């Protein structure tokens, strides 16, 4: 069977997934629209009203100046009205313009208020959706993903990259949309005022776009680097925080500081360059806008002096210097607003780039392939009659069976869950080109205790990882109660297995809740019985609140041995037919180990048990001991048989050969 894994154990979160880097903005907008259509519709309408009303000042200015020029023409020598009469003539029209202005700007204020409130709701709702999607998908990633990605780097996606995305959604995208609406509205106004002056504006736009492309492109490049450098630095900090005791024991403080300084310097350099290019862009754009303002005034004045006729979208107008001057005076604020919108858009470039970089890393995290599971055999509760007939049922009977539907004839057969595990000619490598297990054959009958011994890296833990299907084999077969393990659904397979790891993981919660983690339906009495079985009840009752004592920071308030006892109790409450003990007693003193050995002996009764241990005293009573070396089983047999062979196990047991 071919391994369905990334090409290389060193594959990281940014490896092998191009989709997140292509069309990131389009994908982001698609997600945003898909989940928030109604809310977005209201926001876009309010944003449109707010944007349009924001650029109407030039139109109102033009109308006011036009009416005032008409009033001046009514005075001598052009007209024959007095100042009061001329004023009374244009006053009604001016009042209409002012009333219209008030109504338009009130509408804009209301729209801005609604948009701001709704945008806050939309942003937090969308981030909630993103975080939920990331976390839910991550729960179904294979173990390989967590083995090959630093915890700090993953956490950086949930914090820094999500915050960059927040700024993109709440600020940059609305600013882009506002600028787009404003620019389109301003273009319509500009062409209705003067095409000649609009051409000058286009010249300025061309220059601004070239500057933005040059300066903004460098800014974008370094903002992308900044996000990646930040993730690496946080991953390094997380490693150093977890390894503080090791650092202090080996006096590695100076080397740790040097390593941090190297990553911090890289982050500082990337951030410095990113913000340098981003910060110089705004002043450049502002001064270009000022130059354009002066150029428009100069060109407009030149056209008036030369007696040019103004050209609008309706055609050439009659030569009227006064009207042309009014147009120029109205056009100048438009040019200022236009360049301000372009400058504002360029100013958002850094937030846009950071947001897209964060979104890209988020999508890379979300785009990893989930753990594949083509199994169709499930684990069900059952009743077993005296004649051996198995019947599926809902209530707890203490018996389980594999429900095996056969596609060929449509029948369903049931096989009692016993814990019979067999491996046939199994080969495996974490990467295809480097096989670490070679031709593994083993037979674990129900109730047998199988022990693996050998040097570190011999392949002991790898075998148990294959039984759990944390990784899939490259070749060979593994059968569980006679069923090919690939046909069994992974969740049901793992439900039938109990495991105690060398590295204990406790979660924030009470002692009782941590024990119940093994079986969420377990009662308090079941949890206490499991604790007694693991000889953990005595120390638990001496804790400040007994079984209700709150554990935090992976059980930092407990000793390593106590944490391991809780891990054993958690496995005991699961009551699985197959147990895997991977250095389960490595952190327990000799006296406690003897007690735990008695408890695990009771726990192992009637179960198939795989034991990995460096302490050979813990495996002497195993039914079968397998000695591994370089991924091969070189010896197998009982303790007495292997001692009699005087081979590698004999050397390990007598101290004639160091285990490591």
Q: What is the 3-state secondary structure (H, E, C) of 461-475?
A: HHHHHHHCCCCCCCE
Q: Which of 346, 366, 386 is the last residue of a domain?
A: 366
Model pLDDT for residues 497-530, shown as the tens digit of each residue: 888 877 778 888 899 999 998 888 889 999 999 8
Does 426 share its domain with 409? no
Does 448 share its domain with 403? no
pLDDT at position 418: 87
Does 488 share its domain with 594? yes
Does 179 share its domain with 197? yes
pLDDT at position 414: 92
Does 329 share its domain with 451? no
Report residue 489's pLDDT band, with 50, 70 and 90 as the boundaries.
very high
Model pLDDT for residues 68-127, shown as the tens digit of each residue: 777 666 667 766 777 777 677 778 888 888 888 888 888 888 988 998 889 888 888 888
pLDDT at position 250: 67
Model pLDDT for residues 128-174, shown as the tens digit of each residue: 889 988 999 888 888 888 888 877 788 888 888 888 888 888 888 88
Arithmetic mean of pLDDT over the chain: 81
Residue 80's contacts (CB-CB under 8 Å, 6 or more residues apart) are 74
Residue 444's nearest CA partner among 469, 416, 418, 420 is: 420
Q: CATH code at 425?
A: 3.40.50.300
Model pLDDT for residues 600-610, shown as the tens digit of each residue: 676 667 778 88
Q: Which of 386, 416, 446 is the last residue of a domain?
A: 416
Q: Please check whether residue 522 lies inside any domain of the structure.
A: yes
Does 396 share its domain with 298? no
Report residue 6's pLDDT band, with 50, 70 and 90 as the boundaries.
very low
Q: Please check whether residue 308 lies inside any domain of the structure.
A: yes
Does 217 share its domain with 308? yes
Q: Please check whether residue 322 lies inside any domain of the structure.
A: yes
Report residue 588's pLDDT band, with 50, 70 and 90 as the boundaries.
low
Does 407 share its domain with 441? no
Q: Please check whether residue 116 lies inside any domain of the structure.
A: yes
Sign of the Cα pseudo-torsion (289, 295, 298, 301, in order): negative
User: Taking 50 as the threshold, does the pLDDT of residue 289 lie above it?
Assistant: yes
Does 627 share its domain with 590? yes
User: Taking 90 as the threshold, does the pLDDT of residue 575 lie above it?
Assistant: no
Does 387 share its domain with 446? no
pLDDT at position 177: 85
Contact 287, 232 (CB under 8 A): no
Mean pLDDT, rounded, for 415-438: 89
Our count of domains for the chain comes to: 3
Residue 609's contacts (CB-CB under 8 Å, 6 or more residues apart) are 448, 449, 450, 578, 579, 580, 581
User: Taking 60 as the threshold, does the pLDDT of residue 7 lie above it?
Assistant: no
User: Taking 70 as the threshold, does the pLDDT of residue 373 lie above it?
Assistant: yes
Mean pLDDT, rounded, for 399-411: 88
Q: Please check whether residue 346 lies inside any domain of the structure.
A: yes
Q: Please check whether residue 660 lies inside any domain of the structure.
A: no
Euclidean distance between CA atoms 418 and 273, whole angstroms: 64
Strand 449-454 to 624-629 pairing: parallel
Q: Please check whether residue 11 lies inside any domain of the structure.
A: no
Residue 492's contacts (CB-CB under 8 Å, 6 or more residues apart) are 375, 377, 378, 379
Does 217 share its domain with 337? yes
Euclidean distance between CA atoms 430 and 410, whole angstroms: 37
Q: Please, how many CA atoms are within 13 Å of residue 303, restricted to the half-sphere of its CB?
A: 24
Determine the longest span between alpha carbons in the chain, in angstroms.
Answer: 132
Contact 553, 545 (CB under 8 A): no
User: Taking 70 as the threshold, does the pLDDT of residue 182 lie above it?
Assistant: yes
pLDDT at position 487: 92
User: Taking 70 as the threshold, does the pLDDT of residue 234 lie above it?
Assistant: yes
User: Taking 70 as the threshold, does the pLDDT of residue 14 lie above it?
Assistant: no
In this structure, the number of other CB atoms found within 10 A of the CB of residue 394 comes to 7
Q: Please check whether residue 65 lies inside any domain of the structure.
A: yes
Model pLDDT for residues 546-572, shown as the tens digit of each residue: 999 998 877 777 887 788 888 888 888
Residue 435 is part of which domain span?
421-654
Q: Per DSSP, what are the bridge partners of residue 550?
A: 510
pLDDT at position 2: 35
Mean pLDDT, rounded, for 284-305: 82
Please report the beta strands in 251-347, taking only residues with DSSP state E, as ranges in sequence order.
311-312, 315-316
* For the chain, percent of residues with pLDDT exceeding 90: 10
Q: CATH code at 358?
A: 1.20.1560.10
pLDDT at position 17: 39
Does 579 share its domain with 537? yes
């Amino acid at each position: 069977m071919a391994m369905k894994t990334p090409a290389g154990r060193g594959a990281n979160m940014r490896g092998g997934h191009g989709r997140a880097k292509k069309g990131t903005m389009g994908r982001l907008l698609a997600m945003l629209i898909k989940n928030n259509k109604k809310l977005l519709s209201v926001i876009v309408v309010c944003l449109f009203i707010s944007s349009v009303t924001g650029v109407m000042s030039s139109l109102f200015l033009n109308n006011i100046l036009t009416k005032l020029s008409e009033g001046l023409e009514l005075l001598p020598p052009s007209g024959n009205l007095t100042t009061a009469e001329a004023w009374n003539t244009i006053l009604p029209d001016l009042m209409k313009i002012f009333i219209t202005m008030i109504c338009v700007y009130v509408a804009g204020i209301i729209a801005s208020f609604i948009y701001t409130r709704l945008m806050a709701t939309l942003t937090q709702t969308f981030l909630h959706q993103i975080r939920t999607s990331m976390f839910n998908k991550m729960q179904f990633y294979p173990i390989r993903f967590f083995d090959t990605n630093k915890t700090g780097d993953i956490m950086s996606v949930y914090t820094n990259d999500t915050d960059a995305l927040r700024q993109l959604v709440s600020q940059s995208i609305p600013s882009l949309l506002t600028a787009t609406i404003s620019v389109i509205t301003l273009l319509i106004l500009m062409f209705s005022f003067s095409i000649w002056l609009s051409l000058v504006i286009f010249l300025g736009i061309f220059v601004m776009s070239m500057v933005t492309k040059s300066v903004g492109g460098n800014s974008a490049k370094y903002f992308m680097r900044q996000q990646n450098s930040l993730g690496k630095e946080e991953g390094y900090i997380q490693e150093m925080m977890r390894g503080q005791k090791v650092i202090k024991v080996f006096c590695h403080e100076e080397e740790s500081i040097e390593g941090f300084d190297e990553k911090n310097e890289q982050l500082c350099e990337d951030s410095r360059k990113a913000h340098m290019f981003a910060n110089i862009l705004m002043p450049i754009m502002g001064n270009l806008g000022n130059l354009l303002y002066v150029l428009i005034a100069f060109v407009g004045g030149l056209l008036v002096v030369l007696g040019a006729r103004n050209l609008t979208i309706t055609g050439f107008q009659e030569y009227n210097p006064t009207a042309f001057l009014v147009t120029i005076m109205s056009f100048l604020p438009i040019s200022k607003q236009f360049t301000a919108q372009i400058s504002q858009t360029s100013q958002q470039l850094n937030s846009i780039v950071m947001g897209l970089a964060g979104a890209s890393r988020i999508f890379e995290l979300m785009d990893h392939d989930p753990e594949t599971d083509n199994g169709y055999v499930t684990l069900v509760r059952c009743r077993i009659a005296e004649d051996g007939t198995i019947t599926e049922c809902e209530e707890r009977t203490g018996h389980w069976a594999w429900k095996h539907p056969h596609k060929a004839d449509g029948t369903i057969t049931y096989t009692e869950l016993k814990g019979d595990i067999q491996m046939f000619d199994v080969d495996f490598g974490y990467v295809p080109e480097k096989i670490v297990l070679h031709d593994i054959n083993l037979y674990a009958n129900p109730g047998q205790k199988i022990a693996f011994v050998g040097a570190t890296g011999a392949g002991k833990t790898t075998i148990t990882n294959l039984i759990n299907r944390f990784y899939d084999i490259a070749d060979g077969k593994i059968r569980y109660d006679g069923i090919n393990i690939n046909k069994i659904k992974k969740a049901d397979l793992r439900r039938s297995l109990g495991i105690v790891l060398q590295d204990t993981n406790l979660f924030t919660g009470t002692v009782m809740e941590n024990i119940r983690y093994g079986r969420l339906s377990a009662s308090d009495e079941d949890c206490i019985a499991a604790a007694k079985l693991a000889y953990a009840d005595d120390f638990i009752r001496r804790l400040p609140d007994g079984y209700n004592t709150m554990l935090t920071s992976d059980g930092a308030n407990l000793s390593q041995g106590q944490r391991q006892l809780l891990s054993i109790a958690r496995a005991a409450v699961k009551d699985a037919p197959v147990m895997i003990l991977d250095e389960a007693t490595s952190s327990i003193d000799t006296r406690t180990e003897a007690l735990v050995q008695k408890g695990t002996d009771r726990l192992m009764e009637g179960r198939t048990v795989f034991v990995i241990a460096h302490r050979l005293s813990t495996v002497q009573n195993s039914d079968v001991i397998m000695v591994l070396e370089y991924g091969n089983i070189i010896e197998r047999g009982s303790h007495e048989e292997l001692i009699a062979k005087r081979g590698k196990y004999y050397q390990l047991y007598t101290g004639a050969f160091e285990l490591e």
